[in-house]
Chain A
Amino acid sequence: MDPSFLVLQSLSGLASASSLFVIASGLTLVFGVTRIVNFAHGSFYMLGAYLAVTLVPRLLDLSYSPWTFFLGVILSAVLVGLVGVAIEVLLLRRIYRVPELFQLLATFGIVLIVQDVVLKVWGPVDIPGPRAPGLRHGVEILGQRFPSYELLLIGVGPLVLGLLWLVMHRTRFGVLVRAATQDREMVGALGVNQARLFTTTLFLGAFLAGLGGALQIPRLPANSHMDLSIITDAFVVTVIGGMGSVTGAFLAALVIGQLQAFGILIFPKVTLVLVFLLMAVVLVVKPWGLLGKPDAAASRTVAPEGILGLRRFRPPERILAGLAVLLVLVVPLIADAYKVKVATEILVFALAAFSLQFLVGVGGLVSFGHAAYFGIGAYAAGLLVTGPFKAPMELALALAPLAGAAGAALFGFFIVRLSGIYLAMLTLAFAQIVYAVCFQWVEVTGGDNGVVGVWPAAWAASRGTYYYVVAAVVLAAIVALRRVIHAPFGYTLRAARDSATRADAIGIDVRTHRWLGFTLAGAAAGLAGGLYAFSKGSIDPTMISIPQSVDFLAMILVGGIQTVMGPLVGAGVFHALKDVFMPLTEFWRLALGATIIAMVLLFPRGIAGATLSLRPRRPAPASVEASA
């Protein structure tokens, strides 16, 4: 290969690394101080780009110079910083002490709201930005032209790193931020008002995200998908670098920039996979990232959120469960074809949500990528019946849970080595790998369009018959999983959830048990995915996307994270509401986001949890060690 080509490729890798670092530095700063992994960071980036494509052309009309261009960029970033302040004061301040799963969900609620706001204000069409005056042309490097704006971007990353270093080491604010990153309670006990520190940090973090977005406008038109595409990259950078470490983020961005620049030459189809693979490898070797500290992940005092006070059904609940089963069985007799389809989907989602609750509520493993195993099951079943094998439905449905289990066993091997927020990030990364494979491997998976013609066997072709197939399989799977929860294996998982070290000390192999639990949940999700594929008649990558994973989490949140059967209620309520309201409003995402935030703030125990608290409760075990 031509050396000058390699140099240019490496330079463009540096330019993307620079942009990525600017965004990720804000994310890692905010995490360091607030311990919140802010999904809305991608929304800040998107807002920065939209504001810049709006403001910069107007400023350039007034005076066409590089100065006005960059003034517009900075102005956009400042405005985004103020949005960050508003979000800190209105929402984040209220959720600093809730379990991290709820924090992730609440900030994802902001993502949904911002998406609809952006669509309403700027419309669905991509908006190209102006090019920077004076930087419109290329520079000759080793006989090849290289865009001068890219060269400028290469300089921005180190510049931001340098400025951040000065702020962190030469100002009182910076010293307080670094102290709070280590021990925010102690900083408070020394008389520092944390609320103000947090608000300022959010301003800085959102400013950096907005700056990153605004700087992209000459390279990338502002569009409504920017938020989720950047947030996974930014997560990966902060996780590889070590959460809370700005320098680590810089190193990680450099590595990823080069990996992408050269990876695209060698494996053009799998660049996304390469990045996530790098993350998996780094986390296995250094579980807290390149420059991260273990205490950043461990210093939480929030009690593990999950199923407490497990017990068997009492007589009233037996009657309730019997009635529920009866209701499930009579649906096709009283409902029209469309409602039967919705009911089928509810059953499928109920199983998927139940398997997720098994992970989260019993195992304490907060999976942010449960759609991966659902999707693997769906794709396995769909590809088996449509592909060269032309397998029968029965075989496909039998293999779907095995495929889900195999995927979960493979990923779970890495995942169970981590804990807390790193674990959640790794589940997300693995889900994105699966998504990337299904999206990019067009020959086999049909890419974005997916595969159609995934229909049930002839005997189960009618809606009603297929409904009963689903009902029978789902009920059997739920009963089986419930038995596992009540078996010693389930007790062991809960022991490990409440205190991994104490479980370890009494001779429990925590890692292996978690791995088995993860695999079992993957099998159940895969089964649900297989059933879903035949109910929809097609497969496509949205089944594996982040929003699908969030839907599952929202279902267990709605149902109540401390209850065993809550996810079933949650799946029913959530999917029914979605089905009723989605066609009625163009602001479905806004409504969903607002609902998720409201749930986290007002009813963190969900519907089933709320009814549970009406009954007299047995005292829950104290979860924090007394020290004197």
Chain B
Amino acid sequence: MTLPILTVEALRASYGLAEVLFGVGLTLNRGEVVALMGRNGAGKSTTLKAIMGLVPASAGVVTFADTPVTGWEPFRIARLGLGYVPEERRIFTDLTVYENLEVGRRQARGERPAWTPEKLFSIFPNLAEMRGRRASAMSGGEQQMLTIARTLMGNPAAVLLDEPSEGLAPVIVEQMAEAVLRMKREGIAVLLSEQNLYFASTVSDRAYVIEKGAIRYEGTTAELEENDEIREAYLTV
């Protein structure tokens, strides 16, 4: 039986007077990986930011872990167990790898064992070798791993993952997919925004397609792969 951990209803958001989201609705169940697909400018990142409270929602309701969190400050939402991995990575480049993990550290909730730097280094072996190194001296792929590891240090029950495969070499994309599947095995629900259908279908169970700030399609990733019409209309460039 599936229980939603995150539900978004009729979410609207704007930058100044430029409206971006026009009533987005979606559900993320516990332990499930869901992809939010769409082209550049469709509203993927803004949806994730609005859920996290980084962009103010002008209307709609976000419920996380049975708690309405609309209008909350981001740090309170994060403390409730929702992690956020930004598209631009936003690593603290003046800090070492280890210190970056320290910023993300929060106490574990429930009976699940807490993430530790050692456990994360076992998933991302590259990071282990450079734990004392400044994050500014890392490659893009390594930074992407660090940004995920940093969020996992908060022991989230669910993670918003913004375009994890963007701009990465194919071998790193493979590792990202591994990381997402590992999170799923650990029981963490993941909502990821993605343009790459191959990546999305590798890791996710279901997919939403967003265009012009509203959800246009919902289904399993397998169905989406079969559906040429939707792919033509909303995904191909």
Check A189/B78 contact, CB under 8 A, given A624-B15, A628-B20, A628-B42: yes
Which residues of A (175-234) have their CB < 8 Å from a CB of B?
A: 175-176, 178-179, 181-183, 185-194
Check A628/B43 contact, CB under 8 A, given A175-B95, A191-B75: yes
Is B86 in contact with A175, judged by CB distance below 8 angstroms?
A: no
Is A182 in contact with B17, judged by CB distance below 8 angstroms?
A: no
Bitwise, B21-41 to A at CB < 8 A (1) or not (0) is 000000000000000001011
Of A185, A186, A625, the most chain B CB neighbours within 10 A belong to A186
Bitwise, A41-70 to B at CB < 8 A (1) or not (0) is 000000000000000000000000000000
Main secondary structure of the interface of A (DSSP, over half): loop
Check A190/B93 contact, CB under 8 A, given A176-B103, A626-B20, A628-B40: no
Check A191/B18 contact, CB under 8 A, given A179-B92, A186-B90, A628-B41: no
B99 within 8 A of A: yes
B12 within 8 A of A: no
A623 within 8 A of B: yes
Check A182/B40 contact, CB under 8 A, given A187-B103, A189-B52: no
Query: What separation, in Å, do the CA atoms of A628 and B150 have in the docked complex?
Result: 23
Query: What separation, in Å, do the CA atoms of A188 and B53 have in the docked complex?
Result: 10
Is B45 in contact with A628, judged by CB distance below 8 angstroms?
A: yes
Is A627 in contact with B93, judged by CB distance below 8 angstroms?
A: no
Contacts of A176 in B (CB 8 A): 103
Contacts of A188 in B (CB 8 A): 73-75, 78
Is B106 in contact with A179, judged by CB distance below 8 angstroms?
A: no
Query: What separation, in Å, do the CA atoms of A183 and B84 have in the docked complex?
Result: 14
Is B103 in contact with A192, judged by CB distance below 8 angstroms?
A: yes
How many chain-B residues does the 8 Å CB contact rule pick out?
36
Is A185 in contact with B18, judged by CB distance below 8 angstroms?
A: no
Contacts of B106 in A (CB 8 A): 190-191
Is A178 in contact with B54, judged by CB distance below 8 angstroms?
A: no
A172 within 8 A of B: yes
Of A175, A185, A190, A627, the most chain B CB neighbours within 10 A belong to A190
Q: Which residue of B lies closest to A624 (CB)?
A: B15
Contacts of A626 in B (CB 8 A): 15, 18, 20, 41, 46
Check A194/B75 contact, CB under 8 A, given A182-B93, A186-B90, A189-B84: yes
Of B16, B40, B44, B100, the most chain A CB neighbours within 10 A belong to B16
Partner of A186, one of B86, B94, B99: B86
B60 within 8 A of A: no
Query: What separation, in Å, do the CA atoms of A621 and B17 have in the docked complex?
Result: 7
B165 within 8 A of A: no
Query: What separation, in Å, do the CA atoms of A297 and B79 have in the docked complex?
Result: 30
Is B95 in contact with A178, judged by CB distance below 8 angstroms?
A: yes
B134 CB to nearest A CB, Å: 11
Partner of B94, one of A178, A621, A627: A178
Is A622 in contact with B15, judged by CB distance below 8 angstroms?
A: yes
Contacts of A193 in B (CB 8 A): 75
Check A628/B46 contact, CB under 8 A, given A179-B103, A620-B17, A622-B17: yes
Is B94 in contact with A189, judged by CB distance below 8 angstroms?
A: no
B144 within 8 A of A: no
Q: Which residue of A lies closest to B86 (CB)?
A: A186
A619 within 8 A of B: yes
Query: What separation, in Å, do the CA atoms of A619 and B150 have in the docked complex?
Result: 41
Is B103 in contact with A190, judged by CB distance below 8 angstroms?
A: yes
Query: What separation, in Å, do the CA atoms of A620 and B106 have in the docked complex?
Result: 42
B104 within 8 A of A: yes
Of A175, A186, A303, A628, the most chain B CB neighbours within 10 A belong to A628
Contacts of A619 in B (CB 8 A): 17
Query: What separation, in Å, do the CA atoms of A341 and B111 have in the docked complex?
Result: 78
11 contacts between A and B (CB under 8 A): A175-B102, A188-B78, A189-B54, A189-B78, A190-B154, A192-B103, A621-B16, A622-B17, A623-B16, A628-B20, A628-B43
